[in-house]
Structure 1
Amino acid sequence: MPILSVRHVTVYRYRRPVSFGEHRIMFRPRDSYDQRLIEATLDIDPLPASVRWMFDVFGNCVAIASFDTRSDTLRFTCGITLDHTPEHAPVFPLAPHATHYPFGYGVEDMPDLSRSIERQWPDTHHMVDAWARSFIPADGRIPTQDLLADMTRGIRCNFTYLARSEKGVQDPVTTLRLKRGSCRDFAVLMMEGVRSLGMAARFVSGYLYNPRNDRDRHVGGGSTHAWVGVYLPGAGWIEFDPTNGIVGNRDLIRVAIARDPRQAVPLHGSYFGLTSDDLGMRVDVAVTETSAPDLVPAH
């Protein structure tokens, strides 16, 4: 059970001092049985006039910072220490009726799952549908875990990871056509593919632990990361990282969950000035294993 430390720094630079609107910060990991938050710090420069905390509609922890000063630089430094319990060989105790695909959800779950089953992106020519169904054998029946693992590893093996600095997410049809994308692009493709098969899926944002920055093990480190959660009867929400072919939570630190990736942006806000004043943003994320302080819950 490693103790992991995360240092997440985001710096905005401007050509001249500008004033700032509210900034919404989503960096604090979700406490759970598989990850326990020990410490979390947030330093902002220049010092904000106020910082308030809230839970959003998904239960994600969000900080809202307001400012009354001008500056040519805005820096957010987040520090996290948590006790992480990885599932190295995940075996999911599925309900008997869900061990093989296709399966259905119970009537008591559907009101809460229905929006996570709805498709969010256009697929006029059913390309994502056809891609998702290519993992199903001709007789139409397959172990549910095998189907989702094959889809996860299929993206890992057949698509090329490409870090993108542009805002937003590539639509899944484009990702499928180009066979390349960022972690958030792959997450959205798999999420839409899973939904096309009638399963509930959601977008997960957080951090990736990659010992020694080993590219043979993982790609997508050095910034925030994205993957998919799928709801399986008897097992609950299970995580799949198509960028790295990970099934389960190994090396994944969950921060935010959402129905749509636009609801899980780690940091966004506004400034008041000219478009030409914006000199860009830099993000640096380091995730390392560390020795534990006294294991008390974070405040």
Structure 2
Amino acid sequence: MKHVTTYLYAEAVRLLPHKLLLHPREGCDVRIESSDLAIHPAHHLCWQRDVYDNAVALATFTERCNGLSIDSRIVLQHFDDRPLDFWVADYAVLDPFLYDPAEYADLCAYILPTYSPIEPLLNTWLRSFWHSGQTVETYVLLDRINRAIACDFTYPQREEPGVQAPAATLAKRAGCCRDFATLFSAACHYLGLAARFVSGYQCSPTFARGLGATHAWPEVYLPGAGWKGYDSTSGQVVGNDHIVLAVGRHPESVPPVSGSFVATTHQSPSMQIVVELAEIPAQAR
């Protein structure tokens, strides 16, 4: 994996600390073989684990500069090639259900809404494929929500920073991947399900060979299965074509690169992001 972020400034600027979430989360489905992070200009790098157990690199800079380059190179193995092969605890097969009290204590923060209450809007939208009091298979309900977003909403090019509020996404029937992930999570919160926001990469067969993209999607906690990813942009369950960099309760808390600078003018910097994902043949490893 290659992820290069480049900023060019109109004048020499003083860079303030930058937070980097560029190290994939390891687990039973992901193993990192090697990693390298090259940053210019001169800097000091400090690694830490945040409250969500994400690997965070904090870069502080010692000199003024006209540009900033962050180059991350990682080789990993990904084993989640059967995303639909999972087990759900008996008590959670049908929705609605209540989480086990021992788990609920840790999950309650992921059930609270992250945006202003929009229950009437969500209820009206969800009513097209679900109604209050209805008993339905939990997986089926989540699949309906996921596919409804992917099929019924448009995906225009949106370069504005930040995340669109769920109410705006519902009103416009349009958004980008991070907006769709936020809407899916809001629907889960409305249903009493724990959900969180994921920042990562996607490598799709529809992309040109070697190209990847930064991406965002939600994860919902299913007893027995754990955290399961749903790509509301494609309508699919997340598998080994998705690579998780970081997770968080609020969608604006986990951008891959965040930071600021001090300058004498108000001109915005130019930015370029290049993401390349390639498979290494087994005989070449």
- Kindly state the Cα deviation for residue 89 of structure 1 after the two structures are TM-superposed: 5.2
Q: C-alpha deviations, 1:80-100, integer Å up to 9, x for none?
A: 111111334513211111111
Q: 1:59 to 1:105 in 2, by over 3 A?
A: same
Q: Check conservation: 1:132, 1:196, Cα contact below 8 A.
A: no
SS at match of 2:102: coil
Q: Does 1:267 align with 2:257?
A: yes
Q: Does 1:106 align with 2:108?
A: no
Partner of residue 149, structure 1 = 143
Q: Does 1:47 align with 2:37?
A: no
* Residues 24-63 of structure 1 aligned to structure 2 (within 5 Å): 24-48=19-43, 50-63=44-57
Partner of residue 215, structure 2 = 225
Between the aligned partners of 1:106 and 1:135, the Cα distance in structure 2 is 27
Q: Does 1:21 align with 2:11?
A: no
SS at match of 2:161: coil
Between the aligned partners of 2:120 and 2:283, the Cα distance in structure 1 is 52
- Kindly state the Cα deviation for residue 237 of structure 1 after the two structures are TM-superposed: 0.8
Between the aligned partners of 1:37 and 1:21, the Cα distance in structure 2 is 30
Q: C-alpha deviations, 1:65-94, integer Å up to 9, x for none?
A: 111111111110111111111334513211
- Kindly state the Cα deviation for residue 281 of structure 1 after the two structures are TM-superposed: 1.7
Q: 186-195 or 126-135: which moved more?
A: 126-135
* Residues 218-257 of structure 1 aligned to structure 2 (within 5 Å): 222-257=212-247
- Seq. identity, %: 37
Gaps of 5+ in 2: none
**What value does the CA root-mean-square deviation take over the aligned residues?**
2.1
Amino acid at match of 2:102: E
TM-score, L = length of structure 2: 0.93
TM-score, L = length of structure 1: 0.89
* Residues 1-299 of structure 1 aligned to structure 2 (within 5 Å): 6-48=1-43, 50-88=44-82, 90-124=84-118, 126-136=120-130, 140-211=134-205, 213=207, 222-291=212-281
SS at match of 2:148: helix
- Kindly state the Cα deviation for residue 159 of structure 1 after the two structures are TM-superposed: 1.0
SS at match of 1:42: strand
Q: C-alpha deviations, 1:226-264, integer Å up to 9, x for none?
A: 001101111111111101112132411011010001221
SS at match of 2:151: helix
Q: Check conservation: 2:229, 2:237, Cα contact below 8 A.
A: yes
Q: Check conservation: 1:16, 1:277, Cα contact below 8 A.
A: no
Q: 1:181 to 1:202 in 2, by over 3 A?
A: same
Between the aligned partners of 2:268 and 2:118, the Cα distance in structure 1 is 37
Amino acid at match of 1:76: I
